Structure 1
């Protein structure tokens, strides 16, 4: 469920060419740093709106969009944020 909410929020914010959310929560269940619960997610997003932005700025924008989910639903988030040209060249 949370992965679908993440996808919807990111689609609305960035209109990406590609978006993939991988829920890795099962492999992290019960570890000591995850007392509140929340899932572990890996996001790949390719969007024109990242053009000209540093990797740090791209991540900041994604965290802003997902801010409310970061409080409880998301415990860990790995991000691969690319522009279309970076994705087509394999960078």
Structure 2
């Protein structure tokens, strides 16, 4: 069963409370999303570390219920 965008956003915000999250369904199938995430907690971290934080927030759903998630992460400007 695919995940919906609201569940993805909720999980990210539970782990990264200050995150500003924007999610798009890329294929209209509930399986392929793109997410733009801005958080102060990303400041000073590498892109890999930022993405690891997001994957941790998804609690193992990446690659299972959530098939594909293209990430853009950054700290606020």
TM-score scaled by length of structure 1: 0.72
Judge conservation of contact 1:9–1:65 (CA < 8 Å) in 2.
yes
Structure 1 unmatched runs, 5+: 30-37, 86-91
Matched, 1:66 2:58: yes
Q: Would you say how many aligned residue pairs link Structure 1 and Structure 2?
A: 75
TM-score scaled by length of structure 2: 0.83
Which protein has the bigger helix share?
A: 1
* CA gap 1:24/1:2 in 2 versus in 1, 3 angstroms: same
- Aligned-pair Cα RMSD in Å: 1.8
Q: 3-state DSSP class of the match of 1:68?
A: coil
- What is the aligned counterpart of 1:42 among 34, 49, 54? 34
Structure 2 unmatched runs, 5+: none
Whole-Å Cα distance in 2 between the matches of residues 74 and 25 of structure 1? 13
Judge conservation of contact 2:13–2:19 (CA < 8 Å) in 1.
no
